[in-house]
């Protein structure tokens, strides 16, 4: 009898695909010192549509995190779960409801606005059917994504990390979407705070380890 992939999990299991937003969750697990393992999903082979993976996440998307209580999806939810399960890592201001809400507001902006703006470049079929519509959406992406990052720099980014002096869940998530700027025809060097943040976070050992796992 086949085992249920989300049952009897003693350690967390992260399903990811290189180049996807799952990078943020992977970095958070590593920063937290979590006991976890990873499963690489090949989009090229359409493994996200397999019965095994759909049993983990019926949405057919990564990241998905299997826990001892079931599976989780959506990056903001996974990130907060990691921080709550590993409070000693200090990845979220869990003792301050307002500060935690601010963290969630930032991460939800990345998820619901920045990621969606980026997706219009390569996932236009989610919103339209005509090639002319796809082309128009793709042309708009550099403008809309840049506007998002300019708002982050002017109104949201405290420095040196997103929330100020303390590294948090916001930082690997922002970094993940920053890595997509080149695909969106945006030179990260023209966004000085974002560029400095990218260089700062890439010096962290946990980030270097995860990058090697994804792209090494």
Count up the domains in the chain and report the number.
2
| CB-CB contact of 77 with 71 (8 Å) | no
Of the residues 89, 117, 141, which one is the last residue of a structural domain? 89
Query: CATH no. for residue 25?
Result: 3.40.30.10
Q: Rounded mean pLDDT of the chain?
A: 92
Residues 175 and 84 in one domain: no
Q: Are residues 79 and 148 in the same domain?
A: no
Which of 89, 123, 144 terminates a domain? The answer is 89
Q: Is 51 contained in some domain?
A: yes
| Mean pLDDT, rounded, for 156-173 | 98
Residue 149 lies in a domain: yes
CA distance 106 to 155: 11
> 7 in a domain, yes or no?
no
Domain boundaries, position 110 = 97-204
| pLDDT of 145 | 98
Q: Are the C-beta atoms of 10 and 68 separated by less than 8 Å?
A: yes
**Whole-number pLDDT of residue 135:** 77
Same domain, 172 and 114: yes
pLDDT per position as a tens digit, 80-130: 999 999 999 999 999 999 999 999 999 999 999 999 999 877 675 666 657
Instruction: Tell me, yes or no, whether 28 and 52 share the same domain.
Output: yes
What is the Cα–Cα distance from 20 to 95, expressed in whole angstroms? 31
Residues 107 and 84 in one domain: no
pLDDT of residue 188: 98
Give the CATH number for residue 144: 1.20.1050.10
Q: Give start and end residues of each alpha helix (H) in 58-110.
A: 75-85, 97-109
């Amino acid at each position: 009898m086949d085992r249920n992939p989300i049952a009897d999990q003693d350690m967390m299991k992260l399903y990811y695909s290189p180049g996807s937003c799952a990078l943020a969750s992977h970095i958070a697990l590593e920063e937290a010192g979590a006991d976890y393992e990873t499963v690489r999903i090949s989009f090229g082979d359409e493994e996200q549509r397999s019965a095994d993976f759909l049993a983990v996440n019926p949405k057919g998307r990564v990241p998905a995190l299997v826990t001892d209580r079931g599976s989780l999806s959506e990056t903001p939810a996974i990130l907060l779960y990691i921080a709550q399960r590993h409070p000693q890592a200090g990845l979220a201001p869990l003792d301050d409801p307002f500060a935690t809400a601010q963290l969630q507001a930032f991460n939800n902006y990345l998820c619901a606005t920045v990621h969606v703006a980026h997706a219009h470049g390569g996932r236009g079929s989610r919103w339209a059917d005509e090639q002319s519509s796809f082309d128009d959406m793709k042309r708009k992406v550099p403008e809309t994504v840049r506007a998002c990052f300019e708002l982050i720099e002017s109104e949201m980014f405290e420095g040196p990390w997103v929330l100020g002096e303390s590294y948090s869940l916001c930082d690997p998530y922002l970094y993940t979407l920053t890595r997509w700027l080149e695909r969106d025809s945006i030179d990260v060097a023209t966004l000085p705070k974002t560029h400095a943040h990218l260089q700062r976070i890439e010096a962290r050992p946990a980030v270097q380890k995860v990058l090697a796992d994804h792209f090494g």
